[in-house]
Amino acid sequence: MPSAIDVFREQREAADQVHERLTEISQLVGQLRQQVNALAMNEELRKVLREERDWLTSAQLVVSQVRSFRLEEMTRFWPGVLRRWALALVFALAAAGVAGASYARVTKPYAAEIAALRSRVGFADFVEQRMLTMTPVEKRQFDTLMKWNLPSRLGPNPSGRTSGKPTPYPRNHDREEDSKQRK
């Protein structure tokens, strides 16, 4: 068993080793402080740090301005788009209305004439159908009523054509006069 003196000596040696180690560490910390101070005292480094701080401040300012600009742009975007589409819609509707009105204006005078012509064509179709189904006796009665002096089927051509083909009916001069008076 070791004596108390031996234990004391061992503790003293351990304390001496710890003391040596602490002195080494304090010397290293001192050297580090000197290097840090040397770096901190470096004027060029301080100048670069100040410039970086200024750049960072200006970058933050630019970023905040861009954010506010984007927010403002987004609030103005949709109303502008809606105005443009509304203008395009109004123009399209106006163009369609003008086209419809001009079409109606152009076709309106002809609508009454077309209706009258349709009734005349219907009547002419009826007369034609009736004439095709007439017997020879009915045809003679019809010609007498219409006061047509029909030449024979192979007789001279009353229309003035020089071809040898026979014409079934002469031109109706009364109809031509009526159409000239209407114009």
Count other C-beta atoms under 10 Å from residue 5's C-beta: 8
How high is the pLDDT of residue 7?
Answer: 85
Question: φ, ψ for residue 2 (rounded to 5)?
Answer: -80, 150
pLDDT in tens, 78-102: 888 899 999 999 999 999 999 999 9
* Residue 39, both tokens: 């770096």
| CA–CA distance, 171 with 148 (Å, rounded to integer) | 10
Choose between 2 and 94: higher pLDDT: 94
* Residue 156, both tokens: 């001279």
Query: What type of residue sits at position 19?
Result: H
**Closest Cα to residue 50, out of 58, 141, 98, 119?**
58
Residue 180: pLDDT band (50, 70, 90) is low
State percent of the chain over pLDDT 90. Answer: 38
> Radius of gyration (Cα) for the chain, nearest Å?
60
Residue ranges of the alpha helices (H) in the chain?
4-40, 43-132, 136-145, 173-182
pLDDT in tens, 108-130: 878 888 888 998 999 999 988 98
Q: Are 45 and 39 in contact (CB under 8 A)?
A: yes
Over 80: is that where the pLDDT of 66 sits? yes
